[in-house]
């Protein structure tokens, strides 16, 4: 069975292969920024899609543990991936540096 986190949301499809680096503080505020920091710094993930999927899974698991079965409905899982992508975009240029690799271009144009 394919996970809801395996397929990039349409708006982020071109960014899915971009390389991320954490440049912010070592203790960011908020659940999503902390999860992004942990994915990049502690788990060693660097690809946008990998970081987004990791963050989405972590936030989904957290909410599922608190809210129970209603959150476990597959319909909601994809929303967490969108949230993770939005948070990465929000941190772009401040706490996260992005090197573009979208569209198969591996030249690495730094954008944030």
Domain boundaries, the chain: 12-110
Does the pTM surpass 0.85? The reply is: no
Cβ distance 92 to 24 under 8 Å?
no
CA nearest to 104, candidates 44, 14, 2, 6: 14
Q: What is the pLDDT of residues 2-34, one digit of tens each?
A: 455 567 777 888 999 999 999 998 889 999 999
pLDDT at 57: 92
Q: What is the pLDDT of residues 49-90, one digit of tens each?
A: 999 999 999 998 888 777 766 655 666 778 899 999 999 999
Instruction: Go through the chain and tell me how many residues it has.
Output: 112
Rounded-to-5 percentages of helix, strand, coil across the chain: 55, 10, 35
């Amino acid at each position: 069975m394919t996970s809801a986190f395996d397929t990039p949301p349409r708006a982020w499809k071109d960014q899915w292969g971009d390389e991320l680096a954490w440049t912010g503080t070592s203790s960011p505020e908020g659940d999503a920024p902390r999860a992004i920091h942990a994915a990049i710094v502690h788990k060693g993930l660097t690809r946008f899609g990998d970081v987004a999927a990791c963050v989405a899974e972590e936030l989904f698991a957290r909410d599922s543990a608190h809210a129970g079965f209603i959150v476990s409905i597959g319909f909601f899982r994809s929303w967490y991936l969108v949230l993770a992508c939005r948070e990465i975009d929000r941190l772009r240029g401040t706490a996260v540096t992005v090197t573009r690799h979208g569209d198969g271009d591996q030249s690495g144009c730094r954008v944030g």
